[in-house]
Structure 1
């Protein structure tokens, strides 16, 4: 499968490569900026092969965030095209030192073998610079189309989107409805910022929006998809709150919520992904003043505020 066109703008051509993680491309006078690189080196090599077939020179690679499934092909693209690599500003070191990701998930300890597979640890990547919201000049040119960098945190600490003309590549800012249903408990680390990001995307004027997981959306389709995402997140907030009628430890909350959502945790890595995602709901509820924590016999319990 080749890169598919999205929408031509006055400034550049835009494309995407459909995959488990969609890979974007913005092309100006045969120079290409690639957006995300997939899970592993093979994905990056495929991007390089298709770029050569199209006559593109890859001049830069932008990662919307630094989870392993978005940066796994980085090094292959750097090796073949000497492309500059840009990541969200606060996530630069997660790309350079990829063991930070599993350490982050498990609570800061040194990660062990069960949490250092390719789904959690990508090859380290050299990073040219971190990006903040604003306008980004075309890499290596005094004149060329500017890319717009949007701040879209929530799924990760500093996730960004990349806009060009009427097209927005938005990373994991939301999921397509089918994938949202399949995930059950989507991975986000900051629930409040995730909901704010949905609101921010709704206020944009892009004609086409491409999530990393799902089909491209036209402007008319976007509000309903964003609403489905917001509704699911708010439903999970209330489900977690209702579980805390009695004090529970985090792992018990994880087990109960996964059971409610019909999810079976099959691996150690998946356990920590669910655990982190559910802890984000507890953190949100605590920030809202609806739940509280207490220590009992060296155990941390969560409960609704006012529980006796």
Structure 2
């Protein structure tokens, strides 16, 4: 279809994350959306296998990456944005800016205080803070940043042609929607964001940020059409009221545990994927909150 991007969906199974390389076929200009940095909590090891696969794809297709786009400050995986930016600056002689919604500054301040991250390590680490409805070019294509709050207050989606990369706003129909219980999250906002997405033309493809396929479905699915979501999405299909959605979402969220990589992800992601500065002995440290099971500890 004329004016439509080529979309490469790359699934990272350990965190259930969809990463995307989206390219203008006429100019070979591309963007990377929500890349993953591998992290093993058992050994505290960071590796770059998932990100290197994206680089291999870009090289194989002959793309020039113009931007790295984040939908939000993820709480379930570490972003590879900084790593990819550094590698691409060397390999294509161009440093693609890392872009995110403008409200990230409030998220950075909140979690910077919570985890004791000094401001110098998260201020101005994103190259472009996108305005709501801001339009930018991907080669000859136009992309529009869509503010889609609810899961997080800074959340952005990206509309490129007849495609929306919605991050954690909508999941596949048999899963429904994302949690809203993180600081700044709001079920009413998420319902409105969902209705904004499902008001798009029926043929529009909604590419989600995650999939956690139930066994009976099998393989993860990267996209569904607006039409199919309106008919099938268990949380947001036509006929479900805001009151029903909010009640369901708040009750469900109250019983959820925290994401496995919550603390590590937030501390790295407010830094745009940069690692903490090394200590005097060369260690790069993340802060993990302790939880006491008893109140009568002897010290």
In the superposition, the TM-score normalised over structure 1's length comes to 0.60
Q: After superposition, where does 1:259-278 map in structure 2 within 5 Å?
A: none
Deviation per CA, 1:124-157, whole angstroms, max 9, x where unpaired? 9932211122242226x6xx21101111011111
Note closer, same or farther for the CA distance 1:161–1:240 as it changes in structure 2 (3 Å cut).
closer
Counterpart selection for 1:18 from 2, 11, 14 = 11
Counterpart selection for 1:175 from 165, 171, 189 = 171
Distance (Å, rounded) in 2 between the aligned partners of 1:190 and 1:152: 11
Give the SS at the match of 2:167: coil
Deviation per CA, 1:266-303, whole angstroms, max 9, x where unpaired? 97959xx9xxxxxxxxxxxxxxxxxxxxxxxxxxxxxx
Deviation at 1:10, TM superposition (A): 1.8
State the match for 2:206 in structure 1: 209
Distance (Å, rounded) in 2 between the aligned partners of 1:38 and 1:267: 15
Contact 1:39-1:73 at 8 Å conserved across structures: yes
Deviation at 1:197, TM superposition (A): 0.6
Aligned residues: 226
State the match for 2:194 in structure 1: 198
Deviation per CA, 1:90-123, whole angstroms, max 9, x where unpaired? 11575xx6xx5655xxxx54459xxxxxxxxx99
Distance (Å, rounded) in 1 between the aligned partners of 2:180 and 2:73: 17
Structure 2 unaligned spans of 5+? 39-47, 89-94, 212-220, 267-299
State the match for 1:42 in structure 2: 49
Q: After superposition, where does 1:121-200 map in structure 2 within 5 Å?
A: 126-138=125-137, 144-179=140-175, 187=181, 189-200=185-196
Distance (Å, rounded) in 1 between the aligned partners of 2:67 and 2:230: 31
Distance (Å, rounded) in 2 between the aligned partners of 1:36 and 1:240: 24
Note closer, same or farther for the CA distance 1:9–1:265 as it changes in structure 2 (3 Å cut).
same
Deviation per CA, 1:187-220, whole angstroms, max 9, x where unpaired? 5511111111111111112521111113210233
Deviation at 1:85, TM superposition (A): 0.9
Structure 1 stretches of 4+ with a deviation exceeding 6 A read 122-125, 264-268
Note closer, same or farther for the CA distance 1:166–1:42 as it changes in structure 2 (3 Å cut).
same
Contact 1:9-1:166 at 8 Å conserved across structures: no
In the superposition, the TM-score normalised over structure 2's length comes to 0.62
Distance (Å, rounded) in 1 between the aligned partners of 2:133 and 2:158: 10
Distance (Å, rounded) in 1 between the aligned partners of 2:209 and 2:97: 21
